[in-house]
Amino acid sequence: MQPSQLVSQAMPATDLPEESHAAISDVVGVKEQTPLQALISSQAFWVAVALLVLVVFMTWLEPSFGTVENVTNITRNFAPIAIMGLGMTVVLITGGIDLSIGSVMGLVAIVAGLLLTWHYPWYVAFGAGLLAGLACGAFNGFFVAYVGMPSFVVTLGMLSIARSLAVVLSGNQMLYQFGPDAPIVKAIGQAKWPLRQPAGWAPSWMPEFSSHFWVMVVMALALGFVFIFTAWARHLFAIGGNENAARMTGVPVDRIKFQAYVFSAFTASIASLLLLGYSGSAINAMGTGYELRVIAGTVIGGANLMGGYGTAFGAVIGAAFLEVIRNALLMAGIDSNWQGAFVGAFIILAVLLGMQTSGRSLKSLLEGMFTRTGK
User: In this predicted structure, what is the pLDDT of residue 364?
Assistant: 52
Q: How many CB atoms lie within 10 A of CB 200?
A: 13
Q: What is the full per-residue pLDDT of the chain (375 aa) written as tens digits?
A: 444 444 444 444 444 444 444 555 554 444 556 777 777 778 888 889 989 999 999 999 888 898 999 999 999 999 999 999 999 999 999 999 999 999 999 999 999 999 999 999 999 999 999 999 999 999 999 999 999 999 999 999 999 999 999 999 999 999 999 989 999 999 999 999 988 878 788 888 888 999 999 999 999 999 999 999 999 999 999 999 999 999 999 999 999 999 999 999 999 999 999 999 999 999 999 999 999 999 999 999 999 988 999 999 999 999 999 999 989 888 887 777 787 787 788 778 777 776 665 544 445 544 555 565 555
Task: Of 229, 274, 231, give the one whose Cα is nearest residue 84.
Answer: 274
Return d(Cα 153, Cα 99) in angstroms, integer.
9
Task: Of 77, 52, 83, give the one whose Cα is nearest residue 66.
Answer: 52
Angle in degrees, CA 128, 124, 73, rounded to 5: 80
Task: Of 93, 92, 87, give the one whose Cα is nearest residue 137.
Answer: 87
The set of residues, in sequence order, having a beta carbon less than 8 Å from that of 218 and lying 6+ positions away, is none
Report the Cα–Cα distance between both ends of the chain, in Å, rounded: 69
Return d(Cα 180, Cα 52) in angstroms, integer.
44
User: In this predicted structure, what is the pLDDT of residue 151?
Assistant: 96
User: What is the b/e burial string over 230-250, where b = at least 16 CB atoms within 10 angstroms of the residue's CB?
Assistant: eeebbbbbbbbbbbebbeebe
User: In this predicted structure, what is the pLDDT of residue 34?
Assistant: 73
Please report, as a single letter, which amino acid is at residue 270.
Answer: I
User: In this predicted structure, what is the pLDDT of residue 76?
Assistant: 95
The set of residues, in sequence order, having a beta carbon less than 8 Å from that of 35 and lying 6+ positions away, is none
Task: Of 334, 264, 323, give the one whose Cα is nearest residue 293.
Answer: 323
pLDDT, one tens digit per residue, over 65-118 is 989 999 999 999 999 999 999 999 999 999 999 999 999 999 999 999 999 999
The pTM of this model reads: 0.86
pLDDT, one tens digit per residue, over 348-364 is 877 777 666 554 444 55
User: In this predicted structure, what is the pLDDT of residue 77?
Assistant: 95
63-354: CATH architecture: Orthogonal Bundle (1.10)
What are the backbone angles phi and psi of residue 373, rounded to the nearest 5°?
A: -70, -25
Q: How many CB atoms lie within 10 A of CB 302?
A: 25
Q: How many CB atoms lie within 10 A of CB 74?
A: 20
54: exposed, middle or buried (C-beta count within 10 Å: 0-12, 13-18, 19+)? middle
Q: What is the residue extent of each domain of the chain? A: 63-354
User: In this predicted structure, what is the pLDDT of residue 371?
Assistant: 60
